[in-house]
Structure 1
């Protein structure tokens, strides 16, 4: 009797698809085409991402696939890995990065940004600290070096140029 029940349970579990790994055949940020076990193709599989984060998952990335209610046709992707660019972080660090080499890396000594930084709507404020630039600083009219170049040679009428250069 127990053997019979165990066989029926095993047969029932055998009909329920367990989670498995796949590879992205066609990337995207919402729906993916995947290849699974034995080169099976899964079309339009929904990618579930954390609120506030949205990534375009590139082809060739590995994914974790969960068949909802054990059905392959109702699968979702819950995690991704193995993209062409991967950043390894140390203990306590977090990094948000893309496949173009840009990154926002939260390290022990501060926030490191690699790539151009654009503020599209808003201002930049520094409440406690300095702003230092390794290159020139410019606004819509001129650069700071341009202002120095004009100031250092200017005169007022017949007076000599300033003796203290900027």
Structure 2
């Protein structure tokens, strides 16, 4: 029998559970109990996520070889509810960046390493920057030096 005329060996994708995490190669326990070491994690360009221990992953065999898997997808135990049309980027700590139809919502502190430019109002729970600017610009100075503003900043209700 000619070895080049044999039917190719096809091994299907496996679902497994992460047992040892890392940035590049992970250890995965297959549903059949097979433990696979040093499985590389392939992710979409421009996106990287740490897969926690016990996260479920989908592994594909490269060239049909049983010990030559790559991880192509994963999910952890964090349940994220989505509304129609929403996209959410989240981590295992529950921090979300939620893109909905007309706004972006971030559910944690935000640090920006650069400038912020807004074409609309910037506000906090007490008022807008424009309201604070108006109060500041209308405060007076007496003969004895600076007088406090006639209206306290933050005395406005936001929205």
What interval of TM-score do these two structures reach, taking the shorter chain for normalisation?
Answer: 0.7 to 0.9
Q: 2:125 is matched with which residue?
A: 134
Unaligned runs of 5+ in 1: 1-7, 138-143
User: Residues 51-130 of structure 1: matches in 2 within 5 Å?
Assistant: 51-81=45-75, 83-120=76-113, 122-126=114-118, 128-130=119-121
8 Å contact from structure 1 (residues 155, 162) kept in 2: no
- Select the residue among 124, 127, 143 that pairs with 1:156: 143
The separation in 1 between residues aligned to 2:104 and 2:94, in whole angstroms, is 16
Q: Helix, strand or coil: the match of 2:105?
A: strand
Q: 2:24 is matched with which residue?
A: 30
Q: Helix, strand or coil: the match of 1:84?
A: coil
Q: Could you say which structure has the higher strand fraction?
A: 2
Unaligned runs of 5+ in 2: 153-159
Give TM-score, length-normalised by structure 2.
Answer: 0.75
How many residues were matched structurally? 141
Q: 1:39 is matched with which residue?
A: 33
Give TM-score, length-normalised by structure 1.
Answer: 0.72
What is the CA deviation profile of residues 55-112 of structure 1, one whole-angstrom value per residue up to 9, with x for unaligned ones?
000111111110011112210010112x132212122110000111211000123100
8 Å contact from structure 1 (residues 20, 66) kept in 2: yes
Q: Could you say which structure has the higher helix fraction?
A: 1
8 Å contact from structure 1 (residues 101, 115) kept in 2: no
Alpha-carbon shift at residue 162 of structure 1 (Å) = 5.9
Q: 1:48 is matched with which residue?
A: 42
The separation in 2 between residues aligned to 1:106 and 1:84, in whole angstroms, is 21
Pair 1:163–1:19, CA change in 2 (3 A): closer
Alpha-carbon shift at residue 49 of structure 1 (Å) = 0.4
